[in-house]
Amino acid sequence: MGLTSDSAARLRDLVAKSDQLSDEELLAKSLMTAVKWRTQLWVNTLAADGLQVRSGPFSGLDYVVNAAEGALLPRLLGVYERELHPDLLAFAAAGLDHVIDIGCAEGYYAVGLARLMPDAIVNAYDIDETARRRCGFLAQANGVADRVVIRGAFDGTDFATFQDKGRILVFIDAEGAEDDLLRPDLYPALAGYNLIVETHPGLRPGVTDRIMERFAASHDIRRLDPEVGKADLPPVLTHRSHLDMVLALWEWRAGPTPWLVMRPKA
């Protein structure tokens, strides 16, 4: 069954079971089905010319694995989490020796940063075996497997192992575990590291403010709140409908996930 036929069948099934759903549930599920259909159509269109990131800091990345969170379209377009792009480029220009990627998933950032920073070793951690396998495959496909070191669970004591290894960037997207790991009182090596962390207040209420308080004395901190707004889209989407342009930027987020970019104070 094709994508369109399958999506239509899902909608018909929802309507058939509508007496089991509230009006709000029916509309929400129907909307999600239609949106996933439309975004996958665009993914298929782009894939016809190759699964490659079209723009942004990771432009040229061969993206040959599934996206962990489903938001494949903005990744392929190069507009995914675009609020981070200026800082990623700034860190690359300044030069790094090691990246510690905690929660690497399928390797979008681990492999993307390895390509962006050709002199850096990327240490990619994830508790999920499938994620680690996909990350390894992505690193191989992009010719950086020699600089992407894939590991399992990260423990806070592991921060100390990088203390004498030069310029460090900690990149963490760990679905709430940032609250447990980013403890400079327990792991003092953090005081000397650059950090980019996605916080998850929906999972850990107050986590964003707690982390900012913990690092206020040692780091200059910028908070970045993602916005769904205008972006520089590739030509394939520039003159399409407003709906398609909005969907191209949709990152499948159920709630706020503020980023913190933290640099050690001089």
190-215: string of b/e by CB count within 10 Å (b at 16+)?
beebbbbbbbbbeebeebbebbbebb
pLDDT of residue 64: 78
Q: Which CATH class is domain 72-264?
A: alpha beta
What's the gap between Cα 205 and its chain centre? Answer: 21
What is the Cα–Cα distance from 216 to 75, expressed in whole angstroms? 32
What's the whole-number average pLDDT of the chain?
A: 90
Dump pLDDT digits (tens) for 177-191. 999 999 999 999 999
With cut-offs at 50, 70 and 90, classify the pLDDT of residue 51.
Answer: confident
With cut-offs at 50, 70 and 90, classify the pLDDT of residue 90.
Answer: very high
Q: Compute φ and ψ for 215, nearest 5 degrees.
A: -105, 5
pLDDT of residue 201: 93
Dump pLDDT digits (tens) for 220-265. 999 998 766 656 676 777 777 777 777 777 766 666 789 999 999 9
Strand partners, 220: 263
pLDDT of residue 244: 77
pLDDT of residue 45: 83
What is the Cα–Cα distance from 112 to 144, expressed in whole angstroms? 9
pLDDT of residue 71: 80
54-85: string of b/e by CB count within 10 Å (b at 16+)?
bbbbbeebebebebbeebbbbbbbbbbbbebb
Average pLDDT over residues 59-76: 81
Q: Compute φ and ψ for 262, nearest 5 degrees.
A: -130, 125
